[in-house]
Amino acid sequence: MANTVTCDIVSAEELIFSGDVEAVVATGSEGELGIRPGHTPLLTGVKTGHVRLIKSGGEEELFFVAGGFIEVQPKVVTILSDTVIRGEDIDEAAAEKAKADAEAQIAEKGIDADYDAATAQLAAAMAQLQILAEIKRLKR
């Protein structure tokens, strides 16, 4: 059995990543998924958060995905999401501002407050900030 699987990560606009990896870790609709070569075929939703790719030699690369789908086939793992950002391309200041704005909206208990949109914005901002923290930890 091969020790790598091809992974494609695709946003609504472009192919963000394509290459061989030892493992893919993502949060599916039913919980955390760890996908290695030989994984059972699968199609499931992927929650807003991180996707971790473990490349040959143990090198890791992190991505932010805003929901989407993950398809596992015998030789290819495909992740489709409207929004995908490479971990190193996340704008920390923008994520901090989005987090603060969402928290302010949630705190506003007015009739015009869109609680669902604000909680989704908060979850996305928090996920991006967690990815940045993990990247800093990995670089140490």
Q: Hey, where are the domains in the chain? A: 5-87, 90-139
CATH architecture of residue range(s) 5-87 = Sandwich (2.60)
Tens digit of pLDDT for each residue in 62-113? 999 998 999 999 899 999 999 999 999 999 999 999 999 988 888 876 656 6
Is the pLDDT at 17 greater than 90, yes or no? yes
Q: Report yes or no: 135 and 62 within 8 Å, Cβ to Cβ.
A: yes
Q: Report yes or no: 50 and 134 within 8 Å, Cβ to Cβ.
A: yes
The SS3 assignment for 115 reads helix
- Binning the chain into helix, strand and coil, the percentages to the nearest 5 are 35, 40, 25
The residues near 121 (Cβ < 8 Å, ≥ 6 apart) are: 98, 101, 102, 105
- Residue 116: the pLDDT is 84
Confidence of residue 118 (pLDDT cuts 50, 70, 90): confident
Is the pLDDT at 122 greater than 60, yes or no? yes
What φ, ψ does residue 49 adopt, rounded to 5°? Answer: 160, -145
